[in-house]
Amino acid sequence: MNIFVLVKRTFDTEEKIVIQNGKIQEDGAEFIINPYDEYAIEEAIQIRDAKGGKVVVVTIGGEDSEKQLRTALAMGADEAVLINTEDDLDELDQGAAAYILAEYLKDKDADLILAGNVAIDGGTGQVGPRVADLLGINYVTTITNLEIDGTNVKIVRDVEGDLETIETSLPLLVTAQQGLNEPRYPSLPGIMKAKKKPLAELELDDLDIDEDDVELKIETVEIFLPPQKSAGRILEGELSAQVKELVNLLHTEAKVV
């Protein structure tokens, strides 16, 4: 099977975000593979081990993204591809990212494409479905179980507190939800092997993509952190006094009664 995984470099979930002059400051920040993409990588590796074939991880970004690709290779992926837009584009929206990925994938005869359900930085969940639409293939989002029998596929997906079972066929794109599997940690032998695995670097010219093809259609008006929450208050004293004070606070401060 030809299996491709779409990967994104995102801030570490423990990283403190700093905004300066309307932009998120990346200097000194720690970056990781988008956590939902780790489920996609793990599922791809398990399917390859069971069905044969190879797993190729693909990302868009700059040279810094090589670290995340090497991590995916250390987990067990066979090859990696970096589509380097560092010199061509200052910013990408979801439509542009999907277009670039689809242009790369259109002649790769992909049987299965996996992506994370959402990226933890943007959280739109758009890129995977957009890629499938551009390629003209089936897609299913937020999957928690995947069974492949020949070209027939049975999927269980999360639907807001319940589960839905879907039957479809390859070629197919799916986006991985938490609960699909338990992503492995790169082992020391895996890290050593990853150094020798192929990591190709492409630019937009290699894909015959002009900058006009990926012109931004979304404008970021403002970036800001949510307001800091005030500390909670503990009421003390007799129960009747606490109730009286609580009602007063709800009326005068919270203004909900």
The pLDDT score that the predictor gives to residue 4 is 98
The pLDDT score that the predictor gives to residue 27 is 76
Low-confidence stretches of the chain (pLDDT < 50) are: none
The pLDDT score that the predictor gives to residue 14 is 81
Q: What string of DSSP letters covers 66-99?
A: HHHHHHHHHHT-SEEEEEE-TTT-S---HHHHHH
161 neighbors 42 (Cβ within 8 angstroms): no
The pLDDT score that the predictor gives to residue 253 is 81
Helix (H, G, I), strand (E, B) or coil at 173: strand
Name all domains of the chain by residue range, CATH numbers in brackets: 2-214 (3.40.50.620), 229-257 (no CATH)
The reply to whether omega before 171 is within 30° of 0 (cis) is yes
The pLDDT score that the predictor gives to residue 26 is 73
The pLDDT score that the predictor gives to residue 42 is 98
